[in-house]
Amino acid sequence: ISNGGILPPQASSVRELLSLDGLWHFTTESKFLSNIEDANDLELNLMPVPSSYNDISTQLSLRDHVGSVWYQRKFFVPSSWESKKVWIRFGSVCYNASVVINDVVVLTHQIGHLPFAGEITSAVKYGEENVITVEVNNILTSSTVPQGEVTTLVSGRVKQTYTFDFFNYAGIDRPVVLYTSSGSYVDDILVKTDIVDQSGYVTYNISVANDDSSISQEISVLDKSGSVVASSSNRTDTLEIPNATLWWPYLMDANPGYLYKLQVNLFQNDNLIDTYSQPFGIRKLTYDNDTFTINGKNIYIKGFGRHEDSDIRGKGLDLPLIIRDHNLIKWIGANCYRTSHYPYAEEIMDLADQLGIMIIDEVPAVNTENFNNGLLENHKKSLNELYSRDKNRPSVVIWSIANEPRSSSDGADIYYKKVSDHMKSLDRSRPITIANLYDVDEDKSEQFVDIVGFNRYEAWYSNVGELDGIYTRLIEDTTAFRKKHNKPVLMTEYGADSVEGLTILPSYIWSEEFQNDVMAQYFRAFDKMRSEGWFVGEMIWNFADFKTDQDIRRVGGNRKGVFTRNRQPKAAAFLLRKRYWALANKLD
C-alpha cells in the first residue's frame, strides 16, 4: 500500500488511466469456471462493478452471505506502459479486500467506504492479458469499524448480526482504475486557505515521491475561467489572491461552490514528469462556544442525514442516482448533509464541493460499544484515511467522529477523549461533532467535541404519538446540552417513519400526515432555539427511505425518508421545502 497520499488519479499528458469497471466473474466458492456458460446453477456468475453484490441475485444465500466472495476479470496492459510506474486504485471495497494479480497478492485493505491504492509495476505483464482476483470479506467483529458479531443459527447457518440500522451491503462498490505515473510523482497535496480583508491566502504543501535534487516545480492557482491568478516555484508556499471569490454554501450567496485549482507541474531536467490539478475553495471557518461561521457569517445548517442506498445496487456508486439526489437537495433548499454513517464516494463529495453543499464528514464508526484497543486502532485508522482523502474539500465543514456511540458505558470517556484528540492532531481547522443518542446526564462523549450533536425521536421511539409533548421536551433536552457543555448545539437527527400513500386524518403513526405533524412540532422548537443564537442547525432523518436488516419495526426498510427509496417526494418533502426556502430568505 502506498503509505503516502491517496489523490484521485487524473488522466493527463503524463498519466494514463484505464477503468476496470464492468462485469467481473464472481463466486462465493473461490473456484472460477473458465466459461460462464458452464455454470450449472440458475444464477449468472457475473457481478457488476461498482455495486454491492447482495441484491443482484435471486438467492437468499447471497443476500445474507457471510465471509469471502471472489471477483475476477482479465485486463490488458499496453506495452507502452512498460517504462512507467503502474498503479491500481479502489474507491472502496466493503470490507476486507485482498487483491491478487497474476497469482501475486499485491494489495490488502481493511475498512470499507475508503479508497486504497498500490503499485503493481512488477506484478503485471506488459503487452499481454493479466488476471486480477479480488477476495472480499464482509465479516464484522468487536474490533472492526463498524462492529458486528457472527453467530451460528439453529440450522447451522452462520449469520452476521449488527446493531446499526442500515443493510450490511458488501462488495466492490466504487470504481476500480489502473493508472500510470513517472518514477517520481506528486504523491500528496495539502491546501489550506485564509481570508484577510478582500484577499484570499492559499497555503499549500506538495509531497513528491522518489524525490531528488534534479526535480523542480511550478505551482499556479487558476480561477474558474482558467486564468492564472498566482504562482510560485516552491514546494511549500503561501500565495495571496487579491479580491478572491469565496467558497460559499448554497443559498448563502448568489455564486455558491466557487472552486479554484492548484495546478502542480513537476519537472526533471526540464521535462514535465507529472502534473496534477487540485481543486480547492477559499473559505474561512471559525467556531467558539457560541457560534459557527463561514467567511464571517453565521452558519445555520438546514440538512439531512443520508445513506448511500438504492434498490438492486445497494451502496454501489450510481451516477444517475447521485445527480438526482443533488437535484432534489437543491430543489428542497438544503445546504448540508451528514455522510451518515460512513464516508461517501468521492464522486459525491466532488458534487458537494461544486454545488456549495456543506458536509459533515462521518467515519464508519457507528453504534460503537465494548470499547477495546483493537477497535480504537481501527477507529483512528479510519480517521486517518478519511482525513487523507477529504482534507482539501471546502464542502467538509465538520468532522463527525462517531454516530450514536454507547457513550454512557464504562470507558466511553477515555475512549472518546483519545478519538477526539486524534482527530484534533490531524486537523484543527474544522470543528468535530458526535451524533449522540443519550440523555445529557448519561452521555460521556460530548465533552470532547466542539459542536454538540444529538439525535432525538420524540413521539416516535419515545412517547409514541405524543405530538403535543415534542416542543417542551425538545427545548428541555437541547437547553440541558447547552447548559452542560456551553457549546453550539446541532440536531443531527429527528423524524418519523411514513409509508408513502398511507394517509390518515387525524394523523396516526406511519402516515404521511403524522410525519408532517412531527416535523411541524420540531420546527416550532427549532425556531425558539434559533432565537438564542447557539443552536446551529437541524438535520432531518432521513433524506430517503433505505434498506435495513430485517426487523419488525421496518417496512421494507427504514421509512423516515422525506423522499421514497426511489427518490420521489412524500408530503414531508413539500413541507421541508417550504421551511428550508423560507429560512434561506430570512438568513440572506
Q: Binding string, 117-156, against ligand GCB, x = CB under 6 A?
A: ----------------------------------------
Residue 304: CB minimum distance to ligand GCB, A: 12
Residue 339: CB minimum distance to ligand GCB, A: 12
Nearer to ligand GCB, 51 or 548 (CB): 548
516 belongs to the binding site for ligand GCB (CB under 6 A):
no
Single-letter code of the amino acid located at 523: F
Residues contacting 216, CB < 8 A, separation 6+: 233, 266, 267, 268
Residue 525: CB minimum distance to ligand GCB, A: 18
Could you tell me which of 404, 401, 423, 398 has the C-alpha nearest to residue 335?
398
Nearer to ligand GCB, 313 or 341 (CB): 341
Q: Binding string, 332-361, against ligand GCB, x = CB under 6 A?
A: ---------x--------------------
Cα–Cα distance measured from residue 417 to residue 448, given in angstroms and rounded to the nearest whole number: 6
Could you tell me which of 439, 441, 442, 446 has the C-alpha nearest to residue 416?
446
Cβ atoms 113, 128 nearer than 8 A? no
- Number of other residues whose CB lies within 10 A of the CB of residue 288: 11
Q: Binding string, 438-477, against ligand GCB, x = CB under 6 A?
A: -----------------x----------------------
Cβ atoms 173, 255 nearer than 8 A? no
Cα–Cα distance measured from residue 561 to residue 84, given in angstroms and rounded to the nearest whole number: 48
Helices (H), 234-345: 319-332
Nearer to ligand GCB, 45 or 436 (CB): 436
403 belongs to the binding site for ligand GCB (CB under 6 A):
yes
Pairing of strands 46-49, 22-27: antiparallel
Nearer to ligand GCB, 50 or 148 (CB): 148
Nearer to ligand GCB, 187 or 404 (CB): 404
Nearer to ligand GCB, 165 or 385 (CB): 165
Q: Which of residues 414-443 bind ligand GCB (CB under 6 A)?
A: 437
Q: How many residues bind ligand GCB (CB under 6 A)?
A: 10
Cβ atoms 432, 472 nearer than 8 A? no
Q: Grid coordinates standing for 301?
A: 445548517
CA separation, residue 516 to residues 369, 511, 521 (Å): 33, 9, 9
Nearer to ligand GCB, 403 or 511 (CB): 403
558 belongs to the binding site for ligand GCB (CB under 6 A):
yes
| Cβ density class 141-161: b for 16+ within 10 Å, e for less | eeebbbbbeeeeeeeeeeebe
The residue from 306, 560, 565, 579 that contacts ligand GCB (CB under 6 A) is 560
304 belongs to the binding site for ligand GCB (CB under 6 A):
no
Catalytic residue among 385, 404, 500, 513: 404
Q: Grid coordinates standing for 489?
A: 448545539
Nearer to ligand GCB, 75 or 510 (CB): 510
Nearer to ligand GCB, 55 or 165 (CB): 165
Can you spell out the DSSP letters for 449-484?
-SEEEEE--BTTTBSTT-GGGHHHHHHHHHHHHHHH
The CA radius of gyration of the chain, in Å to the nearest whole number, is 24
500 belongs to the binding site for ligand GCB (CB under 6 A):
no
Output the CA angle 171-176-181, nearest 5 degrees.
150
Cα–Cα distance measured from residue 523 to residue 254, given in angstroms and rounded to the nearest whole number: 26
Residue 63: CB minimum distance to ligand GCB, A: 20
The residue from 55, 135, 165, 538 that contacts ligand GCB (CB under 6 A) is 165
Nearer to ligand GCB, 437 or 451 (CB): 437
Pairing of strands 285-287, 292-294: antiparallel
Residue 140: CB minimum distance to ligand GCB, A: 16
Can you spell out the DSSP letters for 373-395?
HHHHHHHHHHHHHHHHHHTT-TT
Residue 562: CB minimum distance to ligand GCB, A: 13
Residue 139: CB minimum distance to ligand GCB, A: 21
404 belongs to the binding site for ligand GCB (CB under 6 A):
yes
CA atoms lying within 13 Å on the CB side of residue 543? 30
**Residue least distant from ligand GCB (Cβ):** 165
Q: Grid coordinates standing for 167?
A: 443493510
Single-letter code of the amino acid located at 80: S
Residue 301: CB minimum distance to ligand GCB, A: 17
493 belongs to the binding site for ligand GCB (CB under 6 A):
yes
Q: Active site includes 218?
A: no
Residue 506 preceded by cis peptide, ω within 30 = yes
Could you tell me which of 494, 423, 508 has the C-alpha nearest to residue 453?
494
Residue 320: CB minimum distance to ligand GCB, A: 25
Can you spell out the DSSP letters for 109-146?
E-SSSS-EEEE-TTTSPTTEEEEEEEEEE----TTSSS
Residue 166: CB minimum distance to ligand GCB, A: 6
Can you spell out the DSSP letters for 186-201?
EEEEEEEEEEETTEEE
The residues that touch ligand GCB, with contacts defined as CB under 6 A, are 165, 341, 403-404, 437, 455, 493, 541, 558, 560
Active-site positions read 404
